[in-house]
Each structure stands twice: as structure tokens, then as C-alpha cells.
Chain A
């Protein structure tokens, strides 16, 4: 399949789902068909990329030098693989969750869900900044109805912050950076080794880097992070999609893409233009972790945890040594799998017991052992303990930071792991061992519906599997820095 076909599958799926909105069975079946076809399409891209010949496709020339163009390269492939795999799990989960919670307008919901995935694929396969920017904006807009799905005042307020932050940062900073790049270099094409070297004066590079990396609001680098907690008003599968797969990963993916293919890691490493941003990222990690500590709402805490974790990737991209880049790329995948597990867990708790705040969860682990088991696995992976995939990415990130003697960053990464234990691991610990909170049954098992458990388990298993078999990921990430 050509990259365009792969991107079009979810878009076509969205239209089909919207048309079948009135017939739940058909709609769900179409959702599955789109997800599976998309997955197959992405998997088919692996072979050519490994052979070093990712498919490329010129769609349309807007103006000379301004093309809509797609190309499959290792980084995009990793992102697309993560997205397509997790979409399968998310489909299973979302269909069950949305029905269990009695949400209306499911046709619109699943259509936008598919649209968001299509836009994500577009971001992943974009071969130049303009194409990427367009899909990036489609992603923002198509997820907006998902964020505000419940339609109440809270949802609208959240949606407003969501749209406001993402649109303003992308138009006001990212687009400017893209234009600057074009006028400095005459191209916006992603090129191995970067395009900026020799075109932009070294004194201006840090500013350009700032425009780019703060402009990519989806990467939630402080102070551009406010949209992420605000988007917590969305239903749980959306949070899972936003915070694990589509939106935030599109953000850090774009950060990586810009670092590797626009700046070029050599340029970033030599000039250190991104170092000041990595300090912001380090600050973001610590600050977001501290904020997370104070929050009692489960999803809000997970959101701030995401803010922190995204900055890991940003640090990796800014340090820009080969090891750090590998770490950053792997973290993109590892965090996705772990965080989606956590959000699935949060949703499952809501479905089964309608609980949202952390103190209410005391003792719930004994009633929902399966859910909290998966939750624990996800937590441990995020902390980065051995036996869990998250270890690898943190390991390489640390190595990268050590290599460049950025001790501040090393300290931030280590401190953040400790804080992770305090604000994340404490949740399952209290759920399993604390005395039961008010209203929590002390015996018997009361779990979420089976499809949700399966989705959660698969993702949790993924966290572990990625510890034992990180090779394919490592190999693909390695292709980036050769």
C-alpha cells in the first residue's frame, strides 16, 4: 500500500462510520475494519523501510517548492506502528466503555476518533514541514469534538483551552518557524542530516529552536502544557488516545522530526542551540511531577505525569547525541504503551465503581485485582524499572545526558523517577493495601467489562514484552542516527 492509501483508510473509515451512525452494529464493525486495515497497511511499510527504501509519494504541488509529500522513514514508521497497534486496543476498549457510560452521539465520536488516527498517520508520514503542519492542524481540529464530547459547561471550557493553546502556539510560533526555515534554506523538506546547517546564523539558532519547540504545543513543554490537563474532561478512551497515542505523541514526534531532519543532530549537538530548551524540559519534568503530587483527581494526575514524560523526549531530542535520540524515540513508544494502560485503568475504575479521585480508590485493588494489576505494570514501566519496557528508554536517555555532561538533566531524570514512585506507584499500593475507603466492598470481585480488561491486559503485556524484545524498536531507532 502506498502511504497515501494508509492515511486514507481511517479517513474513509470516518466517513463510513458517520454514515452508519444510526446502526450500532454496522458502525462498530466498520470501526474494526478501519482499525485492522490501517494496522495492516502500516505493517506493510516495515519491509521497505528496513531495506532502506521507504516509500515516498508526491501528492500535490501547491507552489513550486511547496509540496504536499509523503515518505515513510524509520521515525515515522515507529510512530505509525505505535499508533496503529494501540488503536486496535483502543477500539476494543472504547466501544465497550462508551456504551457502558451511556454516552450519546457515538457515530460522531467514532468518526472523529478515526479522523484523528488518519491525521496522526499523516503527521507520521509527512515528508516536509508544510505537510506535517497541515495534518497537525487537522489532528487538533478533529480531536476537539472528542474533548468536548459530553457537551457540558466543563467540557466546553476545557475544549476552549485545548483549542486555544494548540492553535495559537502552532500558528503563532510553529508556522513562523517553518516560514523562517523556508526563507533561510529554500526548502522545508525533511532531509537526513538536517537542512539548517550553514543557512542560519549560529546566534539565531536558539531562537529558531525556541519557535519550533515551544510552537509544537502538543509536546506540552511548559508553559505550553495547560491544554493537556484541560482536555481531561474528555471521556477516558479519548484521554487514552490523546495522551498515549495521537495528540501528545504527534507533538513529541514532531519535536524529534524537527530535531533530526530539520536541525540535524550534529548541528544541535555542536551548537548547543537546544540546550536552553532542555533546561525548560527539565524544569517541566520536575514541576509537573510536583503538581501531580498535589492532585487528587486520578486523570488529572495522569495528565501531569504525561506532561513530565513528554519532556523526557524533548530532552533526548535537544541533547541530540545518538544515544539520546535512540532513547527519545524509544521513549515515545514505551510511554505510549504504559500510559494507555494507565488511562484504560482509570476508565475501567469509572465504569465499574464510578470513582475519580485517588483517596476514593483505597482498597479498590482487592475488588479489581486485574485492573490494578495492569495499572501497576504500567506504573512500573513509567518509573523505568527492569522487566518493563520503560527501562530501556530511560537508560539511553540517561546515557545520552551523561555523555554530554549535562548533570542538571541527569539529576532531573533521576529525581523524576523518584517522584514517579511517590505520585504514581502510591496509587496501586494504596488500592491494594490501604483500608477500604467508604463504600468500597471488602470482598468479592467487581471488575470492568471484559473487553476493557482484555485491552488493558494486552497493553500491560506490551510493556513487559518491550523489555524482552526491544530489538526491532532499537534497530529502527538506530537507523535514524547512523
Chain B
């Protein structure tokens, strides 16, 4: 089997494993199957990435050559995102077993089956080269995510899930409308083919509207301000394992689709000329960066704090996009990668505390620094990464973002980036202060450090934050290749 033939299996393995998983009894077997499928996905994605950097790989389903059939077309951009998504799924699953056991009493076959569907959906969105196929996979991952969020132990999880469902479906339908318009104008759904045919009809109002619909639809899914309302509750009330997973992947994949549409399908020159994307993204990015970080500072529920922090971090990614340069896009991809690592680590740390203490409110963290030193140290280190201290992954993406801002002749953005990073210092510091500088409430029970099965994946995640803060070859090469692939080798869109 050649690599190209192997490639679709990174989607198919979890997709096929999902129904099997639902049939498995008990707790450990479904988990094992989920883990094995995620690992298989990751291995395939890791094999594909080096090849994809050399040139795009294409696989036609059912041997129907594109643009008639559905094509998986993998270049460095989606290979990079695919590796991120599947790798994160592995680490999240490793961490998640104990946490899920705590939150879910019933047999877990269905739960992990939903998780596998979500993973398959996300991988499918990433790999496919067909615009309608994106919609289908988007809905597969979204529907399973709604169900997963509803598994949260608090009854408000149901509300959060329902509201996410309404907004998510509206977003996906908007995307579908956009794709419909494109189809009406060009008669094709294949992205590469769309890119070729669009220039002929580029100046019609239909295509303009299609672009707007697609951007708004994806903006909803990636929680771009002011379309972020679903995110805080969804992240807060989801089971911790799911918070870890979707915080690292779901918004990232939506962002990838948006980038893919803007750059590959419509072409950057066109998109930025037709819509005032620079101004819009810039305004929304800055609003997200500041409103997100500012709101995060005042949250008493730490999962909600991290959720708002995510909104702020999405702002950084949009900022890179707003610059509309290769450097800016590189920064966006780097932050997409690094933020996934950071946020997953932070959610794991908070989830580990929740597992032991049973609460994620800041009062529950008081004095924990002494009783759960490893967990809290991990949180603090991941916190350094989200602030962007040198030697952490967070620093690297901010460094590139600043480089890109300087490059684009917008030095004032640097000041804003720094100021919003300082706001991150504040919300991270609140937790550190509670953990180390306040004493444990007298009536609180003494807790022991979390078991290794939670600590090891958590520290692995934290370790990755530092690894990729020092050894930047993989993310930087991947992000650069991704950005260049999207811009085309000469910086001119294909």
C-alpha cells in the first residue's frame, strides 16, 4: 500500500472504529480502542507530513478522478493540522481515562464512540479537498461534539450543548449556503477546481456573497468575536477530557478551513480586495485579544477562564491572518499549533485538580500548591507558555507574530500584543497566587497528589510546550511550509 493509499485511513480508522467502540462493554476496552485508533491516525499523519511538504498528495475516492469524485488533497498546510489534531487526540485520550471514569458511571462504549466520530470528523475536514465534503465532516464532528458536551456532569452542560448546537448548525448552514453559491457559479465542488474556475466569475455578486457567508459560518465555529457566545459555556461544562480535546482541536480546524477557503479557493489577493478583510480581521482580532483576556481575568470558574483565554488566543491567530502576509500566516499556523499544546496542557492541569478536588472554582485551588505540587507546577509552567516566556512554545508563536507585525510595518501592534500578554500574566497569576500564596481553607479536606496516569500525560504535554519552545524545527518548518503552500511558492496565489 502506498502512502497515498494509506492517507485516507487516518480518517477511516476512527470512523470505522467508532461503531465498533459503541458495541464494546465496560470501560477499559472502549478506551483502548479509542487510543489505538488515535495512535494509528497519528502515525499515518506523521508519515504523510514529510511527503506533503515536498508536494501535495492526492487520493481519489472510488477511483473517480477529481473533480468528479471526492478527492483527499494533502499539502503541508493540512498535513500539519492533521498531525496536530491526531497527536493531541492521543495525548488527550491517554490523560482522559481516569477523568472520564470519574465523570461517567455508565459503560463508556458510546462515549468513546462519539469521541472517535468527532476525531474522524475533524481529520476529515482537514484532509478533504472537496468543499461539500468539508460540510459533511464538519457536521459529523459537530454533532458528536454536542453529544459529548452534553455528557458533562453538570446539568448546565445540556444547556451549553443545546446552545452550541443552535449556533453551530447556523454556522455550518451558512457555510453550506456559501458552498452552494460557489457551486451555482462554477459547477464544481473540488477546491482545486474551484480555484481554477472562480476567476472567470469572480466579479459577480454571488461569489462575493459566498465568501462572506463562508467567513461568517467558519467565524462562528472558531469563536471569532462576536460569534463566540457558545464557547465559554461549552468548554466549561463539557467533561474535562472533552474540554482538553476540543480546546486543542475544534477551533483550530475551523480556522484552517477559513484559511483554506480564503487562500486556496478564493485566493488571498481576491479575498482581501473584495471584502475589507484586513480591517475586519484586525478589529475582531484585537477585540478578541483584549475582551477575551479581560474577561478571563474575572472568572471564578477556571475552565471558563481558560475558555475566555482561548477566545483571546484566537485573536492572535486572526491577527496573523489580518496581516495578509506570508509571515503573518506563518505566525497564525505556529500559534494554531502552539496554542493547542498550551491550552490542552492547561485544561489537563485543571481537569486533574477537578479529578482530585471535585471543583474547578478558584477557591478550590487555594493552598493546593503544597498538596498537589506536581499538578500545580505543571499548570504554572503551561501558564508561562501562554504568557509567552522565552523557552516556551508560546514565546515562539508570539515572536513570529511580532516579526510579522514589524514586517508589515505595523509596530503599534507589537505594543498591543505585549499588553494583552501582560493580561495573560494576570489571569495565570491569580491561579498561582491561590495555589501557593493562600492557605488551604480550614474545612477543606487534605488531598494527595494525583496519580501517575493523570500526571504523566499532563507533564508530557507540558514537556512538549518546552520542547517546542527550544527545538522549533518541526513547528516552524511545518508552519512556514503551510503558509508558503497556501500563498504559492512565489507569494502569488495559485
Q: Do chains A and B touch in the complex (CB under 8 A)?
A: yes
**Number of B residues with CB within 8 Å of any CB on chain A:** 24
Instruction: State in angstroms the CA–CA spacing of A133 and B387 once bound together.
Output: 15
Instruction: State in angstroms the CA–CA spacing of A341 and B419 once bound together.
Output: 42
Contact of B433 among A63, A66, A160 (CB under 8 A): A160
With known contacts A62-B396, A62-B469, A160-B433, A179–B391 Cβ distance under 8 A: no
Mark interface residues in A171-193 (1 if CB within 8 Å of B CB, else 0): 11001100100010000000000
Query: Which residues of chain A from 138 to 189 have a CB within 8 Å of any chain B CB?
Result: 153, 156-157, 159-160, 164, 167-168, 171-172, 175-176, 179, 183
Instruction: State in angstroms the CA–CA spacing of A217 and B103 once bound together.
Output: 46
Residues of B within 8 A of A63 (CB): 396, 399, 472, 476
A290 an interface residue at 8 Å Cβ cutoff? no
Residues of A within 8 A of B406 (CB): 183
CB–CB B422/A172 < 8 A:
yes
Mark interface residues in A118-134 (1 if CB within 8 Å of B CB, else 0): 00000000000010011
Residue on A nearest B402 in the bound complex, by CB: A179
Instruction: State in angstroms the CA–CA spacing of A66 and B406 once bound together.
Output: 17
Mark interface residues in A40-75 (1 if CB within 8 Å of B CB, else 0): 000000000000000000001011001000000000
CB–CB A156/B390 < 8 A:
no
Contact of B402 among A157, A164, A183 (CB under 8 A): A183
Instruction: State in angstroms the CA–CA spacing of A397 and B246 once bound together.
Output: 60
Smallest CB–CB gap between B437 and chain A, Å? Answer: 5
B283 an interface residue at 8 Å Cβ cutoff? no
CB–CB A171/B425 < 8 A:
yes
Instruction: State in angstroms the CA–CA spacing of A153 and B439 once bound together.
Output: 9
With known contacts A62-B469, A167-B425, A179-B402, A159–B437 Cβ distance under 8 A: yes
Instruction: State in angstroms the CA–CA spacing of A134 and B402 once bound together.
Output: 19
With known contacts A62-B470, A179-B414, A133–B390 Cβ distance under 8 A: yes
Residue on A nearest B422 in the bound complex, by CB: A172
A137 an interface residue at 8 Å Cβ cutoff? yes
Residues of B within 8 A of A62 (CB): 390-391, 396, 469-470, 472
Residues of A within 8 A of B201 (CB): none
Contact of A137 among B389, B421, B469, B470 (CB under 8 A): B389
Residues of B within 8 A of A176 (CB): 418
Query: Which residues of chain B from 376 to 410 have a CB within 8 Å of any chain A CB?
Result: 387, 389-391, 396, 399, 402-403, 406
Contact of A168 among B418, B425, B437 (CB under 8 A): B425
Residue on A nearest B380 in the bound complex, by CB: A141
Smallest CB–CB gap between A168 and chain B, Å? Answer: 7
Smallest CB–CB gap between B401 and chain A, Å? Answer: 11
Residues of B within 8 A of A153 (CB): 439
Residues of A within 8 A of B436 (CB): 156
Residue on A nearest B415 in the bound complex, by CB: A176
Smallest CB–CB gap between A172 and chain B, Å? Answer: 5
Residues of B within 8 A of A168 (CB): 422, 425
Mark interface residues in A238-270 (1 if CB within 8 Å of B CB, else 0): 000000000000000000000000000000000
Instruction: State in angstroms the CA–CA spacing of A137 and B392 once bound together.
Output: 13
Smallest CB–CB gap between B221 and chain A, Å? Answer: 32
Instruction: State in angstroms the CA–CA spacing of A129 and B470 once bound together.
Output: 16
CB–CB B425/A130 < 8 A:
no
CB–CB B476/A171 < 8 A:
no
Residues of A within 8 A of B476 (CB): 63
Residues of A within 8 A of B469 (CB): 62
Residues of A within 8 A of B418 (CB): 172, 175-176, 179
CB–CB B389/A171 < 8 A:
yes
Smallest CB–CB gap between A14 and chain B, Å? Answer: 16
Instruction: State in angstroms the CA–CA spacing of A171 and B421 once bound together.
Output: 9
CB–CB B387/A171 < 8 A:
yes
Residues of B within 8 A of A156 (CB): 436-437
Smallest CB–CB gap between A268 and chain B, Å? Answer: 24
CB–CB B470/A134 < 8 A:
no
CB–CB A130/B390 < 8 A:
yes
Smallest CB–CB gap between A373 and chain B, Å? Answer: 41
Instruction: State in angstroms the CA–CA spacing of A299 and B44 once bound together.
Output: 63
Smallest CB–CB gap between A111 and chain B, Å? Answer: 14
Residues of A within 8 A of B422 (CB): 168, 171-172
Smallest CB–CB gap between A337 and chain B, Å? Answer: 33
Query: Which residues of chain B from 276 to 294 have a CB within 8 Å of any chain A CB?
Result: none
Mark interface residues in A350-394 (1 if CB within 8 Å of B CB, else 0): 000000000000000000000000000000000000000000000
Instruction: State in angstroms the CA–CA spacing of A183 and B396 once bound together.
Output: 15
Most chain B CB within 10 A, of A62, A160, A164, is at A62
Mark interface residues in B456-492 (1 if CB within 8 Å of A CB, else 0): 0000000000000110100010000000000000000
With known contacts A62-B396, A63-B476, A134-B390, A160–B437 Cβ distance under 8 A: yes
Mark interface residues in A58-98 (1 if CB within 8 Å of B CB, else 0): 00101100100000000000000000000000000000000
Residue on A nearest B438 in the bound complex, by CB: A156
Residues of A within 8 A of B390 (CB): 62, 130, 133-134, 175
Instruction: State in angstroms the CA–CA spacing of A54 and B389 once bound together.
Output: 29
Residue on A nearest B419 in the bound complex, by CB: A172
Contact of A60 among B414, B439, B470 (CB under 8 A): B470
Residues of B within 8 A of A133 (CB): 390
Smallest CB–CB gap between B258 and chain A, Å? Answer: 27
Residue on B nearest A180 in the bound complex, by CB: B414
Residues of B within 8 A of A130 (CB): 390
Smallest CB–CB gap between A450 and chain B, Å? Answer: 36
Residues of B within 8 A of A66 (CB): 399
Instruction: State in angstroms the CA–CA spacing of A137 and B422 once bound together.
Output: 16
Instruction: State in angstroms the CA–CA spacing of A66 and B421 once bound together.
Output: 20
Smallest CB–CB gap between A267 and chain B, Å? Answer: 21
Smallest CB–CB gap between A259 and chain B, Å? Answer: 22
Residue on B nearest A133 in the bound complex, by CB: B390
Smallest CB–CB gap between B428 and chain A, Å? Answer: 10
Residue on B nearest A151 in the bound complex, by CB: B370
Instruction: State in angstroms the CA–CA spacing of A133 and B422 once bound together.
Output: 17
Residue on A nearest B418 in the bound complex, by CB: A176
Instruction: State in angstroms the CA–CA spacing of A183 and B437 once bound together.
Output: 37
Instruction: State in angstroms the CA–CA spacing of A160 and B421 once bound together.
Output: 20
Most chain B CB within 10 A, of A130, A159, A167, A171, is at A171
Instruction: State in angstroms the CA–CA spacing of A133 and B390 once bound together.
Output: 8
Smallest CB–CB gap between B472 and chain A, Å? Answer: 6
Residue on B nearest A178 in the bound complex, by CB: B390
Instruction: State in angstroms the CA–CA spacing of A273 and B399 once bound together.
Output: 27
Residue on B nearest A138 in the bound complex, by CB: B391
Residues of B within 8 A of A164 (CB): 429
Residues of B within 8 A of A60 (CB): 470
Residues of A within 8 A of B402 (CB): 179, 183
Residues of A within 8 A of B421 (CB): 171
Query: Which residues of chain A from 463 to 477 have a CB within 8 Å of any chain B CB?
Result: none
Residue on A nearest B384 in the bound complex, by CB: A137
Smallest CB–CB gap between A214 and chain B, Å? Answer: 15
Residues of B within 8 A of A172 (CB): 418, 422, 425
Smallest CB–CB gap between B122 and chain A, Å? Answer: 29
Mark interface residues in B425-465 (1 if CB within 8 Å of A CB, else 0): 10001000100110100000000000000000000000000
Instruction: State in angstroms the CA–CA spacing of A133 and B384 once bound together.
Output: 14
Residues of A within 8 A of B433 (CB): 160
Q: Which residues of B contact A (CB under 8 A)?
A: 387, 389-391, 396, 399, 402-403, 406, 411, 414, 418, 421-422, 425, 429, 433, 436-437, 439, 469-470, 472, 476
Instruction: In the A-B complex, list the 10 residue pairs whose CB atoms are closest, starting with the nearest.
Output: A160-B437, A183-B406, A156-B437, A176-B418, A172-B422, A63-B472, A134-B390, A130-B390, A134-B391, A62-B470
Given contacts A62-B391, A175-B389, A183-B402, 10 further A-B pairs with CB under 8 A are A60-B470, A62-B472, A63-B399, A133-B390, A156-B437, A167-B425, A171-B387, A172-B425, A176-B418, A183-B403
The 17 listed contacts between A and B (C-beta, < 8 Å) are A62-B391, A62-B396, A62-B469, A63-B399, A66-B399, A130-B390, A153-B439, A159-B437, A168-B422, A171-B387, A171-B422, A171-B425, A172-B418, A175-B418, A179-B414, A183-B403, A183-B411
Q: Which residues of A contact B (CB under 8 A)?
A: 60, 62-63, 66, 130, 133-134, 137, 153, 156-157, 159-160, 164, 167-168, 171-172, 175-176, 179, 183
